[in-house]
Amino acid sequence: MGEIFSNKNVMHIDTSVKFYQKGDTGIAFKILNSGAHKGLVLTNQMKRDLDRQLNADREYAMLYAICIEALIKNDLKNFDILVICGDENPLYVKLYLDYLFSNNPEYHRKNIMSIGNLRMITGNPKLKSQADGIAMVYRKKASKPLYRQQRGISLNMINLNYLTIVKKWSELHNIQK
């Protein structure tokens, strides 16, 4: 993949369904060299509630950043490069992530890029996120009973509740783009 990636742990993060689309949305990361993954699911009902209460449908980049922060905050030591899928504007997602991690020096040592930038670096315009499939697994299996979740790929699920999103949303809403 080029010199920038030699001896680096690369993490891809992606969504299964865009936030504005009907249905639950799985958000997950996958660390390429180890295969480690973690994910969360925003139910369709939660997305609609966020749209009604916070006008989240006008700022999905903010919602994506909140989800990413929840997923990666305990795994910052496990990767060097974060590749964010372009489901939402990656410039705004990075801006919001920078704010959420403003007091975290470990985060600021990371190289954060969009999948579009990765395509330019590698010269492969058809390159896809390596986390796309795992995000879909989280989306599909999260609503299943626990015994069904444990079949096949084991989930490393985190819970991101409505109140946490609202709190982070109000923090981010105070910054200017």
- 28 pLDDT band, cuts 50/70/90, is very high
- 166 pLDDT band, cuts 50/70/90, is very high
> Is residue 151 scored above 80 in pLDDT?
no
Rounded-to-integer distance, Cα 164 and Cα 110, Å: 25
Structure tokens at 64: 């994506």
From the number of C-beta atoms within 10 Å of its C-beta (0-12, 13-18, 19+), residue 96 rates as buried
Counting residues of the chain whose pLDDT is more than 90, the rounded percentage is 71
Burial 10-42 (b: 16+ CB within 10 A, else e): bbbbbbbbebeeeebbbbbbbbbeeeebbbbbb
Whole-number pLDDT of residue 122? 87
Distances (CA, A) of 50 to 37, 98, 135: 26, 22, 21
> Is residue 15 scored above 50 in pLDDT?
yes
Q: For each of the domains in the chain, give its residue range(s) and CATH number, in order of start.
A: 3-171 (3.30.420)
- Residues 108-132: tens digit of each pLDDT: 999 999 999 999 988 999 999 989 9
Structure tokens at 143: 């609503």
Structure tokens at 30: 């996958």
pTM: 0.91
Whole-number pLDDT of residue 3? 56
Instruction: Give the mean pLDDT of the chain.
Output: 89
